[in-house]
Amino acid sequence: MPFKVENQAMNKRISPLDIPLQGKKIEFELQESDLPRLKEEATPHLVLCRANLKAVGDQVSMEASYQASLSKTCDCCLKQTKLELHGEFRLTLLPQYLQQREQPGEGEITAEMADIDYYDGKEINLGPYFEDQIFLDLPFRIECSDDCQGICPQCGKDLNKSSCECEEPSVTRPFANLQNLIQTTQEK
Ligand SMILES: [Zn+2]
Ligand SMILES: [Zn+2]
């Protein structure tokens, strides 16, 4: 479902102490500068985030959802292709000092398996957790259309715009010369 961030001033940083007993809902927009890792894979246009936070002391549980408009190069023809992603996730955020204490032994449940992550300092910057999730949700491969023709491996022409004169199976070309050579040898 599409949603709008009504209060743009809402901060993506929050201190567990500012979360009331009944919980707190926050919405914010992530800018390109908040998404350094994602930016290497795709161009973010609009990334809206929503979090429902509850806190017990300094332990915070978050129900989160996001909507992201991105563009990414087509894996076939390299054209910039629009990509709409949305997702939901849950995360328990624990203060960093608990991480040192809870080193899981073999066979034990690791933090990752239990959707636990850690935060440093008094304030939690929620941006990176959203970035991680969007990164995970990125499709492995995207194509600008179902029938993208790609680019010609020989002349580099975008075959969606025009065809080219290159011969189809380029791999057989070196052997074609060899074939000629064999023929001329045999003719002698
Ligand atoms: Zn394409
Ligand atoms: Zn070509």
Distance (Å) from CA 80 to ligand 2 centroid: 21
Distance (Å) from CA 50 to ligand 1 centroid: 32
The number of the ligand nearest the C-alpha atom of 75 reads 1
* Residue 32, helix vs strand vs coil: helix
If phi > 0 it is left, if psi is from -120 to 50 it is alpha, else beta; for residue 57 that is: left
pLDDT of 82 reads 96
| pLDDT band, very low/low/confident/very high, at 91 (cuts 50, 70, 90) | very high
The number of the ligand nearest the C-alpha atom of 152 reads 2
Report pLDDT digits (tens) over 115-167.
Answer: 899 998 889 999 999 999 999 999 999 999 999 999 999 999 999 999 999 97
Rounded to an integer, the average pLDDT of 102-112 is 61
pLDDT of 181 reads 60
pTM: 0.76
Whole-angstrom distance, CA of residue 130 vs CA of residue 124: 12
pLDDT at 5 over 80: no
The type of residue at 15 is: S
Distance (Å) from CA 179 to ligand 2 centroid: 23
pLDDT of 1 reads 47
